Chains A and B, each alone.
Chain A
Amino acid sequence: MTPVAIVGIGESRVGRLRGLSALRLTLEAARAAIQDAGVTGSAIDGVLTRNLDMDVTYMHSQLVAKHLGLKPRFTTDMNLGGATAIAMLEQAALLITTGMCRLVLCAYGENRRTSWAVARHGRIKMGNEDFEECYGLTWGMGPHALAAQRHMYMFGTTSRQLGMIAVAQRRYASQNPNADLRTPLSLEEYERSPLLIAPLRKYDLAYLFDGGAAIVVAALPWARDHTARPVPIVGLGQAHSGEHIGYCANMVTAITTPARQSGEEAFRSADIGPQDIDVALLYDDTTYGVLVQLEDYGFCPKGEGGGFVEAGHLGPEGALPVNSHGGNLSQAHLDGMSHIVEAVHQLRGIAGLCQVPGAAVALVSGFGGVFATSATVILATIDC
C-alpha cells in the first residue's frame, strides 16, 4: 500500500466567536491548510467534512468544496462524534492508497459555543435520548461522570488523580499562545472547584468552542517531492463498541473502551508499541477520558491509570507528555482536530514552548459518542 502523509494543517480563529458561521470557520481553516500544503485548490481532488450538529446541512462536503472553488472527484460528510477527525484521516488514507484521490482535504468547523441554541435547521438526534433526557442526564459529561464513578469503585481512582490531569494539561496550555485557558491551575484550586456532576468537578470538563481546523493528506512519495514538511501516517486503527452514544448504560459500566482494540490495530500496523510513543494526544472530553485511554492504549495496566497520573508522567517533564497543547480541556475543543494539528506541530518541531524535545512518534486518539467509537492514528517522522 502507498504510504500517506499529512502535508498541510490549518486553523481558524477559535474561542467565542458570536456571529461567525460554522461554514466560515471551516473555510478559514481549509484555506490555511491548503496554503500550508503549498498546493493550489485545483489539485485537491477529495473533500471530507464533518457534518454539523447544529444546522445539519444537506451534502455538507459539497457545500464546503463549492465555497473553496474545488471540483473534487470524491466528497463525503462524516460524523463519528469526537472520533471524526481521525476517521477522516483514515478515510483520506483509503482514498489515496486505492488511487481514488491524490490530495484529500479534511475540514472541520463548528460554532457550538455561541450558536448551540439556534435551532434554525434543527439539531442532530442523539441516539436514544428519549431514555436519558427525561432524567436530566446531559450528553457527554454526564455519562463520563457515571463511568468515572464506576472506575473509582473498581480501582480506587480518586478525584485528586483526575485533577492532576487537568493541572498537567493547563501547564501546557499556559505556554501555548493559541490556548483559550492559559491561567495556571493548581491542584488546590482544582480541589476547591465545584462538583458539577459528581464525581466530576468544573476542571474535569471540557467546554464547547467555536472554531475550525483542516488537514491535507497526500501520498508520501508525492509529498516528499512537492511539499516542505510531510508528516507520515504509520499506523491507523478504529473500533466500535456496538453501543450507540445515546443509550450509555452499558458503556459507562464496561470499564474497557474500544480504545483498546483501536490502539492494538494502530500499534500493529505501525509495528511499534506504547513504549515507543514520544507524545500522546488523547481525546479529552473529560479528565476521565484521558485516564481510561492511558489504560486502554497500554501506557499502563488496566486499573492503574490513577497511579500512572500521580507519578507525574503526563506533564512537561514526564515520561509520556499528554496533550501538550492543553487539549480540549484547556486549549480548544474542536472535536479532536486540534489534537492532530498539535501532533504535526510536535513532529515538525514547531510546538514552541510546548515542544517535546526530539518528538518523532506521536499517537493521536479520537473518542466518539460515549465510549462508542475509538479511532487512533500514529504519526512518525522516523522509520519505525
Chain B
Amino acid sequence: MEMWKCHTRGQQLPIPDEDSQIFWEGCRRRRLLIQQCDSCGAFRFPPSPLCQVCLGSLTTWQEDPGQGEIVTFCVYHTEIAGPAWRPYLPYTVVVVQLWYSGIKMLSNLVCDDFLLVHIGLKVRVGFEAVNERFALPKFFPL
C-alpha cells in the first residue's frame, strides 16, 4: 500500500473545536445534533461558524432522529487508510441523506454482510463508543 499513501495513518479521532464540540458531545450522549440557522432555517453539516445560505451566525442545535437512506457508498477491501483498519476489512463508507434535516453525512454502515449495502437502503443512526470521550455516529440497516 506504500504507493497509495494517504493522510490517514491510524484511526484518527476527531479533535473537537468551537464549532464541532456540541456535535461530538451530542454523539457521546447518543443524540445526533445538527445546526439550524436561526435566521433562515437552513440546516448545515459539518458544523461551521456561519450559515452558508444567509451568513447568519445564530444557530440552534436540533436533534435529528437519524433515519435516512444511503445515497452512495464504497467498500474498502484494503488497508489503504492505514494498518489500524486491517481488522475491519472489508468496511463500508456510506453517504447517508437524513430525512429530517436533509443533510448528507459521511459514515460507516455497520452490517455483518457488506453485500447487503445498496443505494436507497434505509438506515438509522447508532452510536459506537470509541472511548470515554467519543462515540461516532454510524448507520445500521433500518
Contacts and interface: CB of A to CB of B under 8 A. Distances in A.
Interface of A: 112-113, 116-117, 123, 126, 128-142, 145-147, 149-150, 153, 194-200, 205, 207-208, 242, 247-250, 252-253
Contacts of A123: 7
A129 B12 CA distance: 9
Contacts, number: 127
A282 B12 CA distance: 33
B74 A136 contact: no
Interface string B114-142: 00000100000000001000001010000
7 contacts: A117-B5, A123-B7, A142-B81, A146-B73, A194-B78, A196-B80, A198-B77
Interface string B68-100: 000111111110110001001011010100000
B14 A142 contact: no
Best-surrounded residue of A133, A135, A199, A242 (most CB of chain B within 10 A): A135
Given A133-B7, A134-B14, A153 B119 contact: yes
Contact of B4 (A137, A141, A149): A141
Contact of B76 (A133, A136, A252): A136
Contact of A134 (B12, B74, B78): B12
A259 B7 CA distance: 26
Contact of A252 (B8, B72, B90): B72
Contact of B88 (A136, A194, A242): A136
B123 to A, nearest CB: 14
B74 A198 contact: yes
A138 B7 contact: yes
A253 B72 contact: yes
B131 to A, nearest CB: 12
Nearest to A242: B52
Contacts of B15: 130
A116 B90 CA distance: 25
B82 to A, nearest CB: 8
B8 A133 contact: yes
Interface residues of B, number: 41
B59 interface: no
B72 A197 contact: no
Nearest to B91: A136
A367 to B, nearest CB: 18
Contacts of A138: 4, 6-8, 76, 80-81
A153 B20 CA distance: 33
B3 to A, nearest CB: 4
Contacts of A117: 5, 9
Contacts of A128: 46
B108 interface: yes
Interface of B: 3-9, 11-16, 20, 46, 52, 71-78, 80-81, 85, 88, 90-91, 93, 95, 104-108, 119, 130, 136, 138
Given A128-B46, A135-B136, A207-B4, 6 more contacts: A112-B5, A136-B8, A142-B93, A150-B72, A197-B80, A200-B74
A134 B6 contact: no
B136 A137 contact: no
Contacts of A137: 8, 81, 93, 106
A51 to B, nearest CB: 16
Best-surrounded residue of A133, A195, A252 (most CB of chain B within 10 A): A133
Contacts of A205: 4
A131 B130 CA distance: 15
Contacts of B9: 117
Contacts of B73: 146, 149
Contacts of A196: 4, 76-78, 80
Nearest to A140: B6
The 6 closest A-B pairs by CB, nearest first: A145-B74, A130-B14, A249-B104, A207-B3, A133-B12, A198-B75
